[in-house]
Chains A and B, each alone.
Chain A
């Protein structure tokens, strides 16, 4: 009986042992190639405000109001773009270009453009730490990212993409340029 117990314990602990995959580190290439055409930039402002009443055992509250500027760039990811996406008709001088829909390509919130507009901490509370301020800004960053579909930036990027490719192919001598966005 005892023997069976030890065997069972051995099997269980062996099952819990870390596999070799736990020790492998995630590897990231320092430089990676990409092909993205940024066609529009939106500069946006966002107020990040929080009122911390604290836990039940904390007396007093603290408030903070930060403002930040974000630079959003949208455009076309041309990574999968190939000759198959361009249909040329030499006879009537027309060309059809198929492009993927516009996406948000980058978002930049420079630290130098984040300002603490107001801060109030009552006597018995500690002031906001760097970590807490950053956690609040992280939430602000997420709210900005979530607002992208309603900002109209993607529509503007597709409008600019159409204009950009029409201009490029017109210079090549094509008389009719059609830009089609496909999912």
Chain B
């Protein structure tokens, strides 16, 4: 039994060695570009040029996050041909080009303290009377990393793509309006300013001229 096993081992071994040598030769001598996997395209390192510096005084107090699906379709040569019509009408097959993008956007809201005039804040003993500026959307952010191309068929130019991506900003503003972000931002700004003034030793903080569209909770609500 032992001799038989040894015979098989001896007869197989040269074939295994030959195969191993061939694999090794393949790895060593086949040009590297034939072996490499599909590589991702990388950009060149270019400088970041500062074109403007602006001082700010924006107090951001509320942030809104939403995910929006952006879709656009257009006819192509095939879909507008009789064959395309047949496919659409006869088989219910859509031959149009489609671009579907998921946008993850953020709207940051608060008040711009730079808009405050000297008369908007009055100190009297341990009391402060403040008129805060109206709340506003300070940043609407949908960066390239916030876009995910979910489906793409046909050719879509840069202009067509950016137009669709830009519509995300308008949609985000609508959603933020609907969610009452400005009211939340105003409430947050009042809290922040109250905390700062209380920490500075003031006891009574009163807010003047609150915008009419701000529906703040009343005492006892």
Query: Does A33 contact B147, Cβ atoms closer than 8 Å?
Result: no
Beyond A36-B59, A135-B41: 7 further Cβ-contacts under 8 Å? Answer: A41-B52, A42-B50, A49-B44, A71-B139, A83-B199, A86-B200, A143-B45
| Chain B: CB-nearest residue to A52 | B41
Q: Which of A38, A44, A110 contacts B56 (CB 8 A)?
A: A38
B141 adjacent to A130 (CB under 8 Å): no
Evaluate contact between A31 and B46: CB separation under 8 angstroms. no
- Segment 6-36 of A: residues with Cβ below 8 Å from B: 28-36
14 A–B pairs (Cβ distance < 8 Å), ordered by A = A31-B65, A32-B65, A34-B62, A37-B60, A38-B58, A39-B57, A43-B52, A44-B48, A47-B46, A56-B31, A56-B33, A105-B60, A106-B141, A112-B166
Whether the Cβ atoms of B181 and A31 lie closer than 8 Å is yes
B142 vs chain A, min Cβ distance (A): 7
For B43, list chain A residues within 8 Å (CB): 48-50, 136, 139-140, 143
CB nearest to B39 among chain A residues: A55
Give me the 10 closest cross-chain CB pairs, A-B, nearest first.
A137-B144, A111-B165, A83-B199, A116-B158, A131-B149, A43-B52, A38-B58, A130-B161, A56-B33, A147-B48
Given A49-B43, A88-B201, A141-B143, decide whether A40 and B162 contact each other with a Cβ distance below 8 A: no
A contact residues, range: 35 or more
A132 interface residue (CB < 8 Å to B) = yes
- Per-position 1/0 for A119-145, Cβ under 8 A of B: 100000001011111111111111110
> A160 an interface residue at 8 Å Cβ cutoff?
yes
Bound CA span A48–B161, Å:
17
Query: A87-110 interface mask toward B, CB cutoff 8 Å, 1 = contact, 0 = none?
Result: 010100001000000000111111
Q: Chain B residues with Cβ under 8 A from A51's Cβ?
A: 44
Q: Which residues of the other chain, A, contact B138 by a CB distance below 8 angstroms?
A: 38
Number of interface residues of B (CB under 8 A): 70
Tell me the nearest residue of chain A to B33, going by C-beta: A56
**Residues of chain A contacted by B121 (CB below 8 angstroms):** 171
State the Cβ distance, B110 to closest chain A Cβ, in Å: 8
A75 touches B145 (CB 8 A): no
B192 adjacent to chain A (CB < 8 Å): yes
Nearest B-chain residue to A79, judged by Cβ: B192
Is there an interface contact between B55 and A138, defined as CB atoms closer than 8 Å?
no
Interfacial residues, chain B to chain A (CB-CB below 8 A): 31, 33-34, 36, 38-46, 48-66, 99, 101, 108, 110, 121, 123, 138-145, 147, 149, 152, 155-156, 158-159, 161-162, 165-166, 168-169, 179, 181, 184, 188, 192, 195-196, 198-201
Contact between chains at A134 and B156 (CB < 8 Å): no
**How far apart sit A71 and B50, CA to CA, in the bound complex (Å)?**
10
A93 to B120, CA, bound (A): 23
Main secondary structure of the interface of B (DSSP, over half): mixed
Task: Say yes or no: A83 contacts B33, CB within 8 Å.
Answer: no
Q: Does A1 contact B (CB under 8 A)?
A: no
Q: Is B50 touching A44 in the complex (CB atoms < 8 A)? A: yes
Question: Could you tell me the distance between the alpha carbons of A31 and B181 in the complex, rounded to whole angstroms?
Answer: 7
Q: Is B143 a contact of A34 with CB atoms below 8 Å?
A: no
Using CB atoms, name the residue of chain B closest to A69: B51
Chain A residues positioned under 8 Å from B145 (CB to CB): 138, 141-142
Contact of A108 with B99 at beta-carbon distance under 8 Å, contacts A48-B43, A135-B40 already known? no
* CB closest chain-A residue, reference B162: A111
Q: Which of A38, A45, A56, A82 makes the CB contact (< 8 A) with B195?
A: A82
Which residue from chain A places its CB closest to the CB of B155 in the assembled complex?
A127
Instruction: Please pick, from A31, A109, A144, A160, the residue contacting B184 in the complex, using a CB distance under 8 A.
Output: A31
Chain A residues with CB under 8 Å of B60's CB are 34-38, 105
Q: Do B161 and A55 touch (CB < 8 A)?
A: no
Q: Report how far A127 CA is from B158 CA in the complex, Å.
A: 11
Closest chain B residue, CB of each to CB of A112: B166
CB distance from A93 to the nearest CB of B (A): 12
